[in-house]
Structure 1
Amino acid sequence: MQLGTRWSLGTTPPAAVPDALRAQIAAVEDLISAGQLAQEPTPRWTLTWLEGRPIAELDTGVIVTLTADGEAVVQHDPDDDFA
């Protein structure tokens, strides 16, 4: 069993976040405007694991995960009420 973790947008991801996700998480954060960063409360990332694969989801509905081939991909959850 692997436990997840949370961290705030714009801060360094914790060590538990796999290297394979870090570049895409950084790319997502680079696209977020300063105005969005200044909002209260600051959106947070949540790292969870499903069938051994890491999933990082931002409160806004952005999801960074790995494909079966190990490629990091960015998706958006259209059903997320926050987005």
Structure 2
Amino acid sequence: MQLGTRWAVGDETPSRLPQVVSDAIEEVEAALAEGDTDTSGWNWTLTWLEGKPVCELDDGTLVEYDPDTDEAIVTPYDDED
């Protein structure tokens, strides 16, 4: 695993992320805003696992990248686990 970076919810995503991942992050943030979730102080953490970006929101939501299909996979945090 390679460490990446952190950025605040609402800030621009790192330029090295695939566009589909950036788009998925924007969609997650839009859904949180639509639900009136207070994300002040929340951050995304980017790490690289086997050369692929993994973005985790402070609430546990994950956005991962599948380079074979050029798709972002969003896994919402499930507090029932």
1:59 equivalent to 2:58? Answer yes
Which residue of structure 1 lines up, in the alignment, with residue 17 of structure 2?
17
1:26 equivalent to 2:36? Answer no
Give the deviation of 1:71 after TM superposition.
1.1
Q: State the AA in 2 paired with 1:36.
A: T
Give the deviation of 1:18 after TM superposition.
2.9
SS of structure 2 residue aligned to 1:32: helix
- The unaligned stretches of length 5 or more in structure 1 are none
Give the deviation of 1:2 after TM superposition.
4.8
Using structure 2 for the length normalisation, give the TM-score.
0.76
- How many Å separate the matches in 2 of 1:3 and 1:16? 14
Which residue of structure 1 lines up, in the alignment, with residue 43 of structure 2?
44
**Structure 1 stretches of 4+ moved >6 Å:** none
| Residues matched between the structures, number | 79
Contact 2:2 2:49 in 1 (8 A): no
- How many Å separate the matches in 1 of 2:62 and 2:22? 12
Higher strand content, 1 or 2: 2
Which residue of structure 2 lines up, in the alignment, with residue 72 of structure 1?
72
Q: CA RMSD for the aligned pairs?
A: 2.6
Using structure 1 for the length normalisation, give the TM-score.
0.75
Which residue of structure 2 lines up, in the alignment, with residue 8 of structure 1?
8
Percent identical among aligned pairs is 40
SS of structure 2 residue aligned to 1:36: coil
Give the deviation of 1:53 after TM superposition.
0.8
Contact 1:4 1:48 in 2 (8 A): yes
